[in-house]
Structure 1
Amino acid sequence: MPVILESIITCPACGHSRTEIMPTDACQWFYECGTCHAVLRPKPGDCCVFCSYGSVPCPPVQLAGKSCCGSGSSSAP
């Protein structure tokens, strides 16, 4: 199955959506909304902003079904 590199990321603050190309070699931990300028961070247990707010999980998760940051999902306090 081919890896999907485009994901529609949606800002939880204002609802603005934008199609972005996901990096294949790193986790993206921050994303600034182009409309309201909120800085998005991954939700607890997610490895990146695409896994939290995107329409498609990041490439490492698509390939391996696990966190792209190596340690798997973390537990919330």
Structure 2
Amino acid sequence: MTTSSTGGNEIQTHSTLTCPECGHATELEMPMDACLFFCECEACHVLIRPLPGDCCVFCSYGSAKCPPMQADQHCGFPCAGGT
């Protein structure tokens, strides 16, 4: 697991994304300043989208929330894990 320090808090920069259709899991590097709204599963090729209320696929299906949400920042979209 890779982390980055921001204002004293450790931010995880990688997350294991698990496909909700087939269960395939892959570790991906997360963008530090944006949210990933779509991601194609490498195994079944379904287009993964966030659950209602989440800002990105990492907040819905990742082992770690996206960096903006980890840092308690808003990324432009609502997120169930945010403030």
If the length of structure 1 is used for normalisation, what is the TM-score?
0.85
1:32 aligns with 2:40: yes
The match for 2:71 is 63
**Structure 2, gaps ≥5 residues long:** 1-8
Cα RMSD between the aligned structures?
1.6
> Where in structure 1 do 4 or more consecutive aligned residues deviate above 2 Å?
71-74
**Could you report, residue by residue, the CA deviation over 1:15-59 in whole angstroms, capped at 9, with x for unpaired residues?**
000000001121110000000000001100000000000000000
- Number of aligned residues: 72
**Structure 1, gaps ≥5 residues long:** none
- 1:67 is displaced (CA, Å) by 4.2
- Say if 1:13 and 1:62 are closer, same or farther in 2 by CA, change over 3 A: same
Residue type of the alignment partner of 1:32? E
The match for 1:72 is 78
- The percent of aligned pairs where both chains have the same amino acid is 50
The match for 2:55 is 47
